[in-house]
Amino acid sequence: MTRQKRFYAVATTALVAAFPVFPLFADDAPSPQTAATLVSPNTNPTASPNDVYDAAAAFADFDVSLFEIPDGESVEFYRKRVADVEREWSRCVFAYRERQREAARERGEKADNIDPAAVMLDAPLGMLARGVNGAFVAAPADSVPARRAVALADLYGRLADAPELPLEVRGQYYQNWLRAASASLRDKPLQEQSEFCAKLLADEKAKSPLDVGRVLYLSGLVKEYERRAQRDVASKTPLDRAAVEKLLDVPQGESAEFYAKREDELDAAYSFAYRQNDKELRAEVNKALEVVRRYRAEAEKKEAAAFDRDAVKRLLDVPSGESAAFYLERYQETQEVWKRVSKLSQYQEGRDLGRLKVRLRAETLPEIDKRLAYADDLEPFERFQRLTRWLYSADVEETRSALDAEIARDETSEIDAVREPYVRYALLSKRVQTVATEARKALPENERNSYGAVKFPELSAEIQAELASLADDVAKRADDGALPWELGGSWAKTAAGFAAHIEREIHLDAAAPIYKEIYAALADSDGETERQVCRELKRKIAESEFLGSTFEVPGLDLDGNPIDWKRFRGAPVLLVAGGVDATYAPGHDRDFLPKCVDAGLQIVRYCGDLESARRLAQRDQEEAEQFKRFQSQGLEAFVGATSIAGYVVPVESRGPGDWPYEHGIIWTSFAVLFDADGRVLATSPRLLRQNNAPEIADELSRLFPDASSAERK
């Protein structure tokens, strides 16, 4: 996902689905600090005595003094208290799990087959897992898990409003506060949760300075709860056999909308019959569903033929100079028509509607969003959301014009101040996409849509200049503080993500200068976010410098002697930790790798230790003999033991400072391709699953162009 798509997603409900908000049931929405004192997990009446006993036994020696949170302390004090509470929690849970495993072993059971009630570390705050399926129940109010939830909610709330902390750090604490306090209140009615969230949103909008990230976050939550409440009401319609039997009589000649509604009702009826274990009723519902679907298709065909095309064409023209209310109404109307046209365009009678559908979606709706993005009579927050939606479909020149407009625009609110940096970043992202598109044009046609990163031929001077300009723009912003529209975001993370986007779209070679520019801009920063980003940037820089370098892997051969890499010079070498199969083939052509081996490729296996290497070599030898028998019988033999040219084991114990980890490679499953002179051509540092080694396949196809018989995908 591109960064621009991610920005757009911030304002949608998809972002917040995993972080449910909770009601605190106060007359006014309180601050996080006040709210934390109101959160008290209720004892679940269905919890068994064993649940309570397990909780008490697990935390009998927990230092409960940590739950006393004094006022007026420093940010450092509260952050340390969070760490202390979690450290004490982990200690107790670990010890309790070990006791249960020991008891299981004494009973002759598997050590991992422990009571789910003990798996408390994985449960939500203030909740306990119990039963064979690990169902969650609220912890007793006076138990350690429940008191921990209250204490952490209090601490997170204080830190979420601490002005000394960077905005992105406060954003993370705010999310933690929501999760910690919501665990034991998740069963409250959705309407009450939505009302509280709306109050909290109103409070955030009234604050100054405004935290736009929280406003966006909570706005998405409100919309999500509204939708969930609507679905909840629809799902609670009572059904009995008499009501189901009424639905079985399907009249003919009704509208497509009528049949769509009846189909939903029959789906619910089928679920009712299934729960009642009534096979006859289920069969009757299935027959009615077949009739409804046939009638619906007939009705939609008629409606497609009779649909007023001129009414759709009228919507294509978006007048200028109208009020925000006019454009909002036009947007709603256009969206409803687009949905209708999308359904009808699938029928032969409505195929000509397909072009109208595309124009409505790609031209009309974005144009209305654009008008609303600059409507002065619309609330600033709504204008900003419309701006983000319009920029998603705007091209480079439109985005560039939007940036000029934002530079000249007067800032009338805090949200208006967010618009210029947002548009500037959107322009950077679109320019990257343009550079990648231009670079792909230099590739052979059958390679332009290769999966994953592609190492392009020499980039033109124009494209290189464009990338240099992008690197300069991003590096200047890398240390400019937090992104105010994204909860928990920062320019440092944004810059690193932008460079990673270039790596995905083009190649690590193109992203490396940007990684270095950003690292130079952040190297002297004291911020914890910046330090975290710098650690990742340093790893990426090391990985980029690894490519093209001459590197001999220190290790031992099967005899325990230092491996002599000179004997492998003169032909490419694929060094592999893990399996050797079609993972490395373009399009997963199973004949590709054997052909490469026949053409001169040498495969060397990297093993964890000498004993394992010797066992693997013996097994490979046995498989090689088996493959020969297969071949003698005319059967296909996949690449395997017969292709292994050597084995290498590390000289020293594995660790963060050993090769190849320092070059961004996971030692347990990786691949490195060397040329005939020992230079690194490509790496696949990720776990090698299906379709996960495109870099190796790209280079192998260039080294052995006659090996691939499958079209690249």
Distance CA 388, CA 400 (A): 14
Stretch 529-550: mean pLDDT: 84
Task: Categorize the per-residue pLDDT at 371 as very low, low, confident or very high, splitting at 50, 70 and 90.
Answer: very high
Is the pTM above the cut of 0.75?
no
- 3-class DSSP state for residue 69? coil
Specify the pLDDT at position 49: 41
pLDDT tens track for 636-669: 555 554 578 888 887 754 444 455 555 656 556 6
- 3-class DSSP state for residue 550? strand
- 3-class DSSP state for residue 453? coil
Cite the DSSP H helix spans in 183-211.
190-206
Q: Check whether 50 has a pLDDT greater than 80.
A: no
In the DSSP assignment, the letter for residue 646 is E
Q: Which residues contact 363 (CB under 8 A, 6 or more apart)?
A: 316
Q: Are 384 and 423 in contact (CB under 8 A)?
A: no
Identify the residue whose tokens are 């679905």: 231
Specify the pLDDT at position 57: 75
- Which of 351-360, 480-489, 528-537, 607-616 has the lowest average pLDDT? 480-489
Q: Check whether 18 has a pLDDT greater than 60.
A: no
CA-based end-to-end distance of the chain: 20
Instruction: Calculate the average pLDDT of the chain.
Output: 77
Q: Which residues contact 517 (CB under 8 A, 6 or more apart)?
A: 471, 472, 474, 475, 478
> Is pLDDT larger for residue 151 or for residue 193?
151
Cite the DSSP H helix spans in 394-490.
396-408, 414-440, 461-477
Q: Are 37 and 248 in contact (CB under 8 A)?
A: no
Q: Beta strand pairing status for 644-650 and 555-556?
A: antiparallel
Encoding tokens for residue 562?
A: 């230092």
Stretch 134-154: mean pLDDT: 80
CA-based nearest residue to 70, from 40, 33, 38 = 33
pLDDT tens track for 524-537: 887 778 888 898 89
pLDDT tens track for 203-229: 988 888 888 888 888 888 888 888 887
Task: Categorize the per-residue pLDDT at 511 as very low, low, confident or very high, splitting at 50, 70 and 90.
Answer: confident
CB atoms < 10 A from the CB of 283, how many?
A: 11
Encoding tokens for residue 333?
A: 């109307």
At 679, give phi and psi (nearest 5°): -85, 145
Q: Are 368 and 361 in contact (CB under 8 A)?
A: no
Q: Are 178 and 153 in contact (CB under 8 A)?
A: no
Q: Are 708 and 586 in contact (CB under 8 A)?
A: yes
- 3-class DSSP state for residue 670? strand
Specify the pLDDT at position 448: 61
Distance CA 364, CA 334 (A): 8
Distance CA 301, CA 292 (A): 14
- The percent of residues above 70 in pLDDT, for the chain, comes to 75
